[in-house]
Amino acid sequence: MVRKLRERIIDGDFIQVVPSQRIARKIGVHPFNVYQQLRKLNPSRYTFYVDCDDFQLVGSSPEMLVQVYNREVTTHPIAGTRRRGKTPEEDDALMTELLGDIKERAEHIMLVDLGRNDINRVCVPTSTNLDALMIVEKYSHVMHIVSHVSGKLRDECSPFDAFRSIFPAGTVSGAPKVKAMEWIATLEKERRNVYAGAVGYFAFTGDINTCIAIRTMTIKDNTAYLQGCPAARTASRTLLSFGRPS
C-alpha cells in the first residue's frame, strides 16, 4: 500500500496521504473501566466515553476538529510529534529538535494552509486569522506542533456548514483531501468507521465543539478495535511528496 501511494505522490496525484491499519484485541473488562484508566494514563484535551448501546467509543484525542462559538469558527491543525523527555533538559532538547525538523515543519505548514482554505469557504474572508503558528503543546507522553486558525462565519452559513467544510481533517486524510480519500478507500482493507471521524456536541445555541477521533477505540462484543494508534503499534503513516514514510 505504501509503495503504491508513493508512486501516486511522485506522479502528482496528491501532496500528502495518511493511510492506516487496524488491530483488534479481546478485552475482559467493561468499556467504562477502560475509559477510567485512560483518563489516568493519558489525559488529553478531549477524553470521552460514548455508549451507543451495541458498541462503545473510548478515546483521548488531543486534536480539535472544529469549534463554533458565537459564530466564531476555530480549528487547530496538529502535525509534528515527539515523545516527552525524561528530564526538563531532555524535554527542551526534543522540543527544539521537533521545531527544527524540516519534514515536520513542511507537513504542518501544508495542513495550516489546508485549514485556512477550509475556513475561508464558510467565513468572511477578511475575518480569517492565523491566531497561533507552530506552538508546542505538551501532553503526558508526547508533544505536538499546533496552530490555531479562526474566522467569523458568514451570515448565510450555518455552524454545520463549518463542520462540513473542515470534515474530515487533513491530518487524517491528506491533500488534496478528495483525491487522498479516494485512494485510502481503495487501498485500506477495512472501512474506517469511527476512526478519523469526529466526536463532540452540537448545541441548540448553534455552538459546536468536536475533536478528531484519533487515539480512539471502538469496543463491541468484548473486542477493542484500534486504528492509527502508535501506542497500539498500528501502522499509521504520513507520506509526503518529498519525504519518507513516518
Domain ranges of the chain: 2-240
22 contact partners, CB below 8 Å, separation of at least 6:
189, 190, 195, 225, 226, 227, 234
CA 169, chain centre distance (Å):
6
pTM of the model: 0.85
Q: What is the pLDDT of residue 1?
A: 66
Average pLDDT, the chain: 89
Q: What is the pLDDT of residue 237?
A: 45
**Residue 185 in 3-state DSSP?**
helix
130 contact partners, CB below 8 Å, separation of at least 6:
112, 116, 147, 148, 149
87 contact partners, CB below 8 Å, separation of at least 6:
none
* Residue 147: band (very low, low, confident or very high) from pLDDT cuts 50, 70, 90: very high
What span, in angstroms and rounded, lies between the C-alpha atoms of 2 and 4?
5
What span, in angstroms and rounded, lies between the C-alpha atoms of 78 and 64?
9
Between 1.10.3720.10, 3.40.50.450, 3.60.120.10, 3.40.50.1370, what CATH number should domain 2-240 receive? 3.60.120.10
Does the structure show a pLDDT above 80 at 8? no
What span, in angstroms and rounded, lies between the C-alpha atoms of 60 and 82?
17
Closest CA relative to residue 115, chosen from 82, 79, 144:
79
Do 202 and 65 contact (CB within 8 A), yes or no?
no
Per-residue pLDDT tens over the stretch 31-77: 999 999 999 998 899 999 999 999 999 999 999 999 999 999 999 99
Among the residue ranges 33-37, 164-168, 184-188, 197-201, the one predicted with the least confidence is 184-188
Do 226 and 58 contact (CB within 8 A), yes or no?
no
* Residue 119: band (very low, low, confident or very high) from pLDDT cuts 50, 70, 90: very high
Strand (E) or helix (H) holding 43 = none
Mean pLDDT of 216-244: 64
